Amino acid sequence: MRIVKFHIITLLLGILYACGEPRDVTANDSLPPIYPDYTQITIPCNIAPLNFMVLHNPQQVLAVLTGEGKTVRIRGGQNIRFSGKKWDQLVNSCIGNEHISVQLYVKKDGVWTCYKPFLWTVTEDRIDPYLSYRLIEPGYEVWNKLQLCERHLESFKVRILADNALTENSCMNCHTYGNQDPGTSFFHLRGPGGGTILNRNGKLRKIETKTEGSISAGVYGNFHPSGRYGVFSTNIIIPEFHAFRGERLEVYDTESDLIVVDFDHNTSMPFPPTEKKELRTFPVFSADGNTVYYCRAPYMSALPDSVRYLRYDLMSISFNPHTGMWGDTSTIDTVFSASRHKLSVCHPKTSPDGRYLLFTVAEYGTFPIWHRETDLYLLNLETGSVDALNNVNSALSDTYHSWSSNSRWFVFASKRDDGMYGKPYFCHIDENGLTSKPFVLPQKDPSAYFTTFKSFNIPELSKGEVPFNALDIEKIYRSMDKETLDPVK
């Protein structure tokens, strides 16, 4: 009986010790070495658990998280993973710019070390709960092995929206939402059974956007706020290998122009003629739908030799949503003259509230993926000021961005971890336009990025699940006829 009592007392003492902090610890005044780097960040109240791992092979880890009157302790060998219930309780107690303090105790070589605590600021600004992206090898020789995926950001659930293993290995790209609405989207499906796959309120259509006289089918595009119109570039795109710096591959246009497609009437209207031949690409509508922003460069006949001098400026032209007509050329305006700064702009995206325009800059060209210097810039459309977002950008490529519907978050693809694989990073922007430190998409297994040898290409936020899946797309590819467009002269 005494032996049994001794074991019970020992067990109870062990439980009490396990619930507390280790004794005889060494203090370290630096932040802990964790991956992903989730130190000192702002997070939305509806994000999935920020599971992380401690680097350098620790024997044991204790995380003590303290919120508004709530403390959670989690032990792990190397990984710290949160149960959904504990995570929700902790985050919900701190909604409204309250802080969660994270204190790590790390045991290695038999010695416990206590690191400097870091903070998570929980904002009530929710992020749109779904993220779509193209999962693709980062090279250029295996582009035919890819999927369009949809991740639920409040959990770790992933759906496959399209898989080119089901569509004769054809390329698929440029998936885009209108107003972050899952009922308004399109993407281009290449190959003999392909076309632009248009989703409007769950009805799927396949459209041939190339018309007589157009340079190509639609490439880069965007929805009008009404959902009735789409604005697209038409491009002759040339890939070239080169040995300049570490950029590997350059992609540029030898010709490009813009069209507006009326999805209600299946018509296509070209950009109004100008005196000089120009390259125009990456069009987007303004939040009110009365303007089209796009990128423009002078036509260059000496490509590819002069590609390092190919620089695009950010332009605008008026648009009449009542008639579906472009404004005349007198309404063309230079919004940001990147070329004056020896820079080139691409991928403009307007915030849904109409306050900002987020775009990418590089030293030249329109293909920033392999440009290490590629950064995001934020234009305040009310004041005209431009923020270089030094606290957001990294030393490697940061591009392919999209907004959340409340204009309080944006997501972008960054290669900051290794220079090779693009991963989705989220950034908060407050009511004063101040941005926070970005953080990467959380995974159930915090080491997942070490074994996922694909890029999360063109991340796009949406308010809900799209109403189709990979089998629907296979059926459309194999059996649906293409609709054609009538060009408007």
Residues 105, 148 share a domain = no
What residue has token string 């990979």?
A: 470
Q: Which two tokens stand for residue 96?
A: 């409204």
1 in a structural domain:
no
Residues 149, 59 share a domain = no
Q: Which two tokens stand for residue 50?
A: 């920020």
Q: Which two tokens stand for residue 184?
A: 């308004």
Residues 186, 87 share a domain = no
11 in a structural domain:
no
Neighbours of 203 (CB within 10 A): 9
The residues facing 260 across adjacent strands are 231, 269
6 in a structural domain:
no
pLDDT tens, residue by residue, 45-59: 999 999 999 999 999
Task: Spell out the residues 6+ positions from residue 1 whose beta carbon is closer than 8 angstroms to its own.
Answer: none
d(CA 298, CA 257): 12
Pairing of the two strands 118-123 and 41-44: parallel
Neighbours of 69 (CB within 10 A): 7
55 in a structural domain:
yes
8 in a structural domain:
no
3-state secondary structure the chain: CHHHHHHHHHHHHHHHHHHCCCCCEEEECCCCCEECCCCCEEEECCCCCCCEEECCCCCEEEEEEECCCCEEEEEECCEECCCHHHHHHHHHCCCCCEEEEEEEEEEECCEEEEECCEEEEEECCCCCCEEEEEEECCCCCCCCCEEEEEEECCCCCEEEEEEHHHCCCCCEEEEEEECCEEEEEEEEECCCCCEEEEEECCEEEEEECCCCCCCCCEEEEEECCCCCEEEEEEEEEEEEECCCCCCCEEEEEEEEEEEEEECCCCEEEECCCCCCCEEEEEEEECCCCCEEEEEEEECCCCCCCCHHHCCCEEEEEEEECCCCEECCHHHCEEEECHHHHCCEEEEEEECCCCCEEEEEEECCCCCHHHCCCCEEEEEECCCCCEECCCCCCCCCCEEEEEECCCCCEEEEEECCCCCCCCEEEEEEECCCCCECCCEECCCCCCCHHHCCCCEEEEEEEECCCCCCCHHHHHHHHHHCCCEECEECC
d(CA 37, CA 52): 8
Q: Which two tokens stand for residue 341?
A: 């700064």
Residues 344, 286 share a domain = yes
Q: Which two tokens stand for residue 179?
A: 């107003």
Tens place of pLDDT for every residue, the chain, 489 residues? 433 333 333 333 333 344 568 888 999 999 999 999 999 999 999 999 999 999 999 999 999 999 887 899 999 999 999 998 889 989 988 887 689 999 999 999 999 999 999 999 999 999 999 999 999 987 554 456 789 999 999 999 999 999 999 999 988 988 999 999 999 999 999 889 999 999 998 899 999 999 998 999 999 999 999 999 999 999 987 766 555 555 566 777 889 999 999 999 999 999 999 988 999 999 999 999 999 999 999 988 766 667 778 899 999 999 999 999 999 999 999 999 999 999 999 999 999 999 999 999 999 888 777 778 899 999 999 999 999 999 999 999 999 999 999 999 999 999 999 888 999 999 999 999 999 999 999 999 999 999 998 999 999 999 999 999 999 999 999 999 999 999 997
Residues 182, 77 share a domain = no
| Domain end position, chosen among 78, 102, 123 | 123
Residues 143, 23 share a domain = no
Residue 141, pLDDT score: 47
98 in a structural domain:
yes
CATH of the domain at 55: 2.60.40.10
Residues 244, 300 share a domain = yes
Q: Counting beta carbons within 10 angstroms of the beta carbon of residue 37, is it exposed (0 to 12), middle (13 to 18) or buried (19 or more)?
A: middle
Residues 272, 417 share a domain = yes
Pairing of the two strands 118-123 and 130-136: unpaired
Q: Which two tokens stand for residue 368?
A: 């920033």
Residue 143, pLDDT score: 56
Residue 10, pLDDT score: 32
Residue 5, pLDDT score: 38
417 in a structural domain:
yes
Cα 351 to Cα 129, 184, 291, 362: the distances in Å are 17, 17, 13, 21
Q: How many domains does the chain contain in total?
A: 2
Residue 79, pLDDT score: 96
Pairing of the two strands 267-270 and 439-440: unpaired
Q: Counting beta carbons within 10 angstroms of the beta carbon of residue 472, is it exposed (0 to 12), middle (13 to 18) or buried (19 or more)?
A: middle
Find the domain containing 455 and state its range: 130-484
10 in a structural domain:
no
- Determine contact, residues 202/218, Cβ cutoff 8 Å: no
Residues 467, 429 share a domain = yes
Give the global pTM.
0.92
- Determine contact, residues 62/78, Cβ cutoff 8 Å: no
Residues 185, 59 share a domain = no
Task: Spell out the residues 6+ positions from residue 277 whose beta carbon is closer than 8 angstroms to its own.
Answer: 299
| Domain end position, chosen among 68, 90, 123 | 123
d(CA 487, CA 489): 6
- Determine contact, residues 443/152, Cβ cutoff 8 Å: no
Residues 158, 119 share a domain = no
Residues 76, 140 share a domain = no
| Domain end position, chosen among 76, 102, 123 | 123
CATH of the domain at 268: 2.120.10.30
